[in-house]
Amino acid sequence: MSAAEAFVTLATTESYCMGATVVARSLRRHGTTRRIVVMVTPNISQSSRLGLKSVFDEVIEVDVMDSGDRLHLALLGRPELGVTFTKIHCWTLTQYSKCVFLDADTLALCNVDELFERDELSAAPDPGWPDCFNSGVFVFRPSLRTHTRLLDHALQHGSFDGGDQGLLNSFFSSWPVEDISKHLPFVYNLSASSIYSYLPAFQQFGHEAKIVHFLGAVKPWNSSSQRDDSSSHTMEQFMTLWWREYLNPATSSAPGKQPTEGQD
């Protein structure tokens, strides 16, 4: 049943914890029936973990350096793959039969539980190269075998973009041609940049947006859009929405959990 399915996100820094918090709150606000899980690295502080525990069902510590000597050595030589390998860790969450991974820089605008009807590996096209999927939102099946194969693939072939998206696209290489049901509609991973690159399409279809992805260098937590202005600029509006979710947790804490108090 639904208890065996989960939304999963990842935070390896304190700022990405802010993003993860908004991911969880936005999913809850829209009444998900699935578990909501965050993977964190050992460097994340106790106070941040406490904050995350108030909105997530599970806070799972992952440490890729524990995954074995061979991996450890490989990572020492290729530190840039560190965060990528941490994200790949989501395949080890075998207590769940199916998961939806969401980058910590995403924001759900409505209930998206129907994503669990899709199979591995379902994702939306990347706006920069639509024959690649964007790895900010994807449906997967946890499996230790797949996890090992992904690590092997990474160690053998690296990642053509240095990140998880290059690795996942070369591993799930049939995605562009094989099965259209694994192509999520773009509205499940609407990247901010698309608003500028194809404005008429955004004006036509943007109101159907389900998940916004603040892909790229400018993240909401680094920007100053918390003012609630009546800007006509849509990106600003999504940023404002993000800040509203971050600053106003009232209706969106985990069932049976209290929102964290301001001081601790």
What residue ranges bind ligand UDP (CB under 6 A)? 9-13, 16, 83, 87, 103-105, 136, 215-216
Binding partner selected for residue 220 from Mn ion, ligand UDP, none, CB under the kind-specific 5 to 8 Å limit: none
Per DSSP, the three-state class of 101 is strand
Rounded to whole angstroms, the Cα distance separating 248 from 28 reads 13
Other CB atoms within 10 A of residue 156 CB: 8
Q: Which is nearer to ligand UDP, 88 or 241 (CB)?
A: 88
Rounded to whole angstroms, the Cα distance separating 188 from 179 reads 17
Per DSSP, the three-state class of 60 is strand
Q: Name the burial class of residue 111, with classes exposed (0-12), middle (13-18) and buried (19+) by CB atoms within 10 angstroms of its CB.
A: middle
Q: Which is nearer to Mn ion, 71 or 88 (CB)?
A: 88
**Smallest distance, Å, CB 191 to ligand UDP?**
8
Chain residue at closest Cβ approach to Mn ion: 103
Angle, alpha carbons 190-186-113 (nearest 5°):
90
Chain residue at closest Cβ approach to ligand UDP: 103
Lookup: tokens for 213: 């992805």
Binding partner selected for residue 27 from Mn ion, ligand UDP, none, CB under the kind-specific 5 to 8 Å limit: none
Q: Which is nearer to Mn ion, 71 or 246 (CB)?
A: 246
**Smallest distance, Å, CB 125 to ligand UDP?**
14
Q: Which is nearer to Mn ion, 116 or 214 (CB)?
A: 214
Task: Tell me the backbone φ, ψ of residue 179, rounded to 5 degrees.
Answer: -140, 110
Where does residue 216 fall: left (phi above 0), alpha (psi -120 to 50 degrees), or beta otherwise? left
Binding partner selected for residue 130 from ligand UDP, Mn ion, none, CB under the kind-specific 5 to 8 Å limit: none
Binding partner selected for residue 87 from Mn ion, ligand UDP, none, CB under the kind-specific 5 to 8 Å limit: ligand UDP
**Smallest distance, Å, CB 138 to Mn ion?**
12
Q: Which is nearer to Mn ion, 6 or 107 (CB)?
A: 107
Binding partner selected for residue 216 from ligand UDP, Mn ion, none, CB under the kind-specific 5 to 8 Å limit: ligand UDP
Decide if 36 contacts 112 (C-beta within 8 A): no
Q: Which is nearer to ligand UDP, 9 or 252 (CB)?
A: 9
